[in-house]
Chain A
């Protein structure tokens, strides 16, 4: 069983919609949490770190629930340019990232 699990999607949503992704992790000792964005055939890039108190960056909100061991990403007012694969990642005792398989998002006109 993979340590970090995500719904692979794809999520197809119209422009302007709100979409939420969830990610669960199995190691209760995981220390750091992230959402990365990956465009087709490109390298992953950090979208947001996820803090225990939750954090927001414009249209993006990330939340962490340590008790239930899940992380969420909410995208409001979806844009065509949000179409990508969103990767959940956690670190355990070191600095190496453990990634989920990614959730594919397609925003349509």
Chain B
């Protein structure tokens, strides 16, 4: 079965370190997204991509970057981790065509920056 997986599921890192969260989907979806979820804020869009070599900033992109070198993967990099980036991160993917297209989410990565 096709799926979307995130790794690691949990990570603790120190302030100032570079961290990369992986997202891999096997649906061959062109659209991929990264969200963070925090109490009181809900899900907020960080970056998204509509295809290989395409990346776009979302609502809360400062301090994050993504690259899309193939259809399956959209890694999220925290250039210099800050305590404010402690959060649960969700990756999602969806088909390119049509409206009302379902987005599928990974199981999330819980990141703690100490």
Which residues of A come within 8 Å of B, CB atoms? 2, 31-34, 41-46, 49-51, 87, 91, 94-102
Contact = CB atoms under 8 A, between A and B. Distances in A.
Contacts of A42: 107-108
Interface of B is mostly: strand
B102 A97 contact: no
Nearest to B102: A46
Contacts of A99: 35, 42-44
B22 interface: no
Contacts of A87: 42-43
Given A44-B105, A45-B105, A94-B50, 6 more contacts: A33-B100, A41-B108, A44-B43, A46-B102, A99-B43, A100-B42
Contacts of B103: 46, 95, 97
27 contacts: A32-B99, A34-B100, A41-B108, A42-B107, A43-B90, A43-B106, A43-B107, A43-B108, A44-B43, A44-B105, A45-B105, A50-B100, A51-B100, A87-B43, A95-B31, A95-B48, A95-B101, A96-B33, A96-B48, A97-B33, A97-B45, A97-B103, A99-B35, A100-B42, A101-B40, A101-B41, A102-B42
